[in-house]
Amino acid sequence: MNSFAVSLAVGLSYKGLRWVAVIRAMIFFGVFQAAFAGLGWLLGQSLKELIGHIDHWITFFLLIAIGGKMIRDSIRLKPGDRLFNIENNLILAGLSVATSIDALIVGMSLGFLQMPVIASVVVIGAITMLFTVSSFVLGIKNEFSLLGKRAGLLGGIILIAIGIKILVQHLL
């Protein structure tokens, strides 16, 4: 969702964006999201023995925090507020890292829950790539400027709901 919001904001505010830059951003965002989720999974697996009895609480609080942040950002930020030069690989890498921190935390949650890593990482990377291209297209066409805001709000609500579901399942 963070990659979606950044891509939409760039698409809305960037005049003359070239498709090469969009494809590069898609690859950067997708690969970084997948890699950070995989790294998070490894961390989660490593810590499972130490904190296995409270992993559902950790997952719950992490998802609540990420979801809450997404909701807050969707309310505060307006599409087009920021302009990033995504044709600069250093800026693109920085944005990729910044938007992938949540994937690291989600990956840790997957590790705590013993979820399969390969399928999860591939899906995370593929969906990120799809969202990145879609949001650039929407932003460039400048037709759906409120979509990024709604997507962040919806994504935050979904993450909070997943956190609540995980906690309830472990407590019952």
Is 144 or 154 the better-scoring residue by pLDDT? 154
The pLDDT value recorded for residue 82 is 47
* Contact yes or no for 8/131 (Cβ under 8 A): no
Can you tell me the distance from the alpha carbon of 2 to that of 70, in angstroms, rounded to the nearest whole number? 8
Name the region of 145 (left: φ>0; alpha: ψ -120 to 50; beta: rest): alpha
The predicted structure's pLDDT at residue 5: 66
pLDDT tops 70 at residue 48: yes
As a whole number of angstroms, the distance between CA 153 and CA 68 comes to 9
pLDDT digits (tens, 9 = 90+) for 72-111: 877 776 655 544 677 888 888 887 887 787 788 888 888 8
3-state secondary structure 91-114: HHHHHHHHHHHHHHHHHHHHHHCC
| pLDDT, tens digit (0-9, with 9 covering 90-100), for 106-143 | 888 888 777 788 998 999 999 989 988 887 777 666 65
For the chain, the average pLDDT equals 78
Percent of the chain at pLDDT exceeding 70: 77
Angle at 87 between CA 82 and CA 92, to 5 degrees: 65
Amino acid identity at 38: G
Q: Phi, psi (5° rounding) for residue 165?
A: -60, -45
- Domain spans, the chain: 2-171
